[in-house]
Amino acid sequence: MAIFASGAGSNAQNIIDHFRGHRSIKVGLIVCNKPGAGVTGIAEKENIPCLLIEKEVFFKGSAYVEELQKRRIDFIVLAGFLWKIPSALVLAYRGRIINIHPALLPKYGGKGMYGMHVHRAVIEAGETESGISIHYVDELYDHGQTIFQARCPIERTDTPESLAEKIHSLEHSNYPTIIEEVIDLQNQR
């Protein structure tokens, strides 16, 4: 699998740790759109190849499909990757790209809804719970079929930062397991 990430890479590290020594699933590539992002250091430390991608090629060119296929990538996991996935990549990997979103979709999704923006919006709306959504990726932001959701309560004293910590905990405890279940299910077909 390839992990696409744009930031520090805590979810990427968690996924790498989960699959270390796995019998049939291997993290074979880290794809990043930001030179110097923390996830590139994780790739180096873990001795996993890292592909730095350029916006022009990603959106108006090949979307790196040939490069991914050359590296024998057959599944893509988005872990804090902030660019919309172009149609060429969605078509080449239909049903084999999943994402994690830090809210209960379909609420609080779409362009610009990531990280603290999501947590602020959830709290400002007066929601009593939030959570994570793991979903297939299609041509629209945060739109593909939901695979799994986990919830957490929002206390009156919660801030966007404290909610972020709760959400991060849900991400780390659920995402690797759901990735494994989805890949195992696909391999049985």
What are the pLDDT digits (tens) for 53-63?
Answer: 999 999 998 99
Give the DSSP H or E segment for 1.
Answer: none
Token pair in block for residue 87:
């149609």
Listed ranges 57-61, 108-112, 121-125; the one with the highest mean pLDDT: 121-125
Whether 135 is catalytic is: no
Phi/psi at 50 (5° precision)? -125, 130
Task: For residue 187, name the pLDDT band (cuts at 50, 70, 90).
Answer: confident
Output the pLDDT for position 125: 97
* Beta bridge pairs of residue 77: 3, 98
Q: Among the residues of 109-159, which ranges form H helices?
A: 115-124
Give the DSSP H or E segment for 85.
Answer: none
The answer to whether 154 and 123 are in contact (CB under 8 A) is yes
Residue 53 neighbours by CB distance under 10 Å:
17
Model pLDDT for residues 129-172, shown as the tens digit of each residue: 999 999 999 998 899 999 999 999 999 999 999 999 999 999 99
Sequence-separated (6 or more) residues with CB below 8 Å from residue 107 = 122, 127
Phi/psi at 37 (5° precision)? -60, 150
Sequence-separated (6 or more) residues with CB below 8 Å from residue 73 = 1, 2, 28, 29
Which is catalytic among the residues 101, 117, 119, 172? 101
Output the pLDDT for position 175: 98
What structural domains does the chain harbor?
Answer: 1-94 (3.40.50.170)
Average pLDDT over residues 31-58: 97
Q: What is the pTM of this model?
A: 0.95
Task: For residue 188, name the pLDDT band (cuts at 50, 70, 90).
Answer: confident
